[in-house]
Amino acid sequence: MIPANKQPRFARWFAGRCRARLAGDFHVVQAHGLDHLRAALIEAPVLLVSNHVSWWDAVLAVTIGHLHLTADGYAMMDARNVRRLPFFARVGGFGVERGDADAAALDYAAGLLDRPGRMVWVFPQGDERPVTLRPLGFRRGAAVVACRAPAARVVPLALRYEVGHWPRPCAFLAFGTARAPCADVDAERAAQEAGVTALLDRLDDHLCGRAALHLETLVEGRRQPLAGFAEAALARLSRRHLT
């Protein structure tokens, strides 16, 4: 495994760069239930488990962990990516070797969950998977971590990216309520997967208009006035040919 080499000043600077990248490439980033996570962090260390959709997931993790939470945050990553992009270790990333057999990394993650305000973000799928995939296919590693840190609280998170009425995509996050880990690893793995699946279904209901979620805006995309001007000018010129 590769331990984190967290450097708070660098982490905050890098989080600002991640936020700027999100503002440039997304229409908006919105979250439901972030207060669940904030409240849990006051009471206990938190294991945050989420589906893994895109390269953007890591950018969101850095931005939210360092700019929207007062948490000492860490994230489990594929060791190959930490070796390729070692600056992630400086913002709290630690590397786990592929598969569920990296006992040192699992012990390391559980050891981080030793005080309120600490957070470890894990993607139990291991790989980026389509958001529509069912079952999600969570591996046992995150469940092992939870069972080794019984004082921690587990918070599920659903991630979804959507292209709709806007020229740029939107990112949606839905956080669930905190719970104590199960005593059994297989039961814990199933509970983690069920929690994230239920939140993905709630996001789907919201986006399809079946049920509304209260959303907090975390990042608002930068306006692109030149693009809007060019679009308006082209529309004006084209309109002449309609008459």
Question: pLDDT for 120-142, tens place per residue?
Answer: 999 999 899 999 999 999 999 99
Residues of the chain with pLDDT > 90, as a percent, come to 80
Number of residues that this document lists for the chain = 243
Q: Is the pLDDT of residue 237 over 80?
A: no
Question: pLDDT for 27-50, tens place per residue?
Answer: 999 999 999 999 999 999 999 999
Contact 97, 1 (CB under 8 A): yes
pLDDT score at 152: 98
pTM: 0.88
Please state the rounded mean pLDDT for residues 3-32: 94
Enumerate the domain spans of the chain: 8-242
pLDDT score at 102: 82
pLDDT band at 227 (very low <50, low <70, confident <90, very high): low
pLDDT band at 222 (very low <50, low <70, confident <90, very high): confident
Please state the rounded mean pLDDT for residues 160-167: 88
- Could you give the CA distance from residue 52 to residue 122 in angstroms, rounded to a whole number? 9
Q: How far apart are the first and last CA of the chain?
A: 68
**φ, ψ dihedrals at 140, nearest 5°:** -85, -15
pLDDT band at 243 (very low <50, low <70, confident <90, very high): low
Residue 56 tokens read as: 């953007």
pLDDT band at 146 (very low <50, low <70, confident <90, very high): very high
Q: Is the pLDDT of residue 111 over 90?
A: yes
Q: CATH class for domain 8-242?
A: alpha beta
pLDDT score at 31: 97
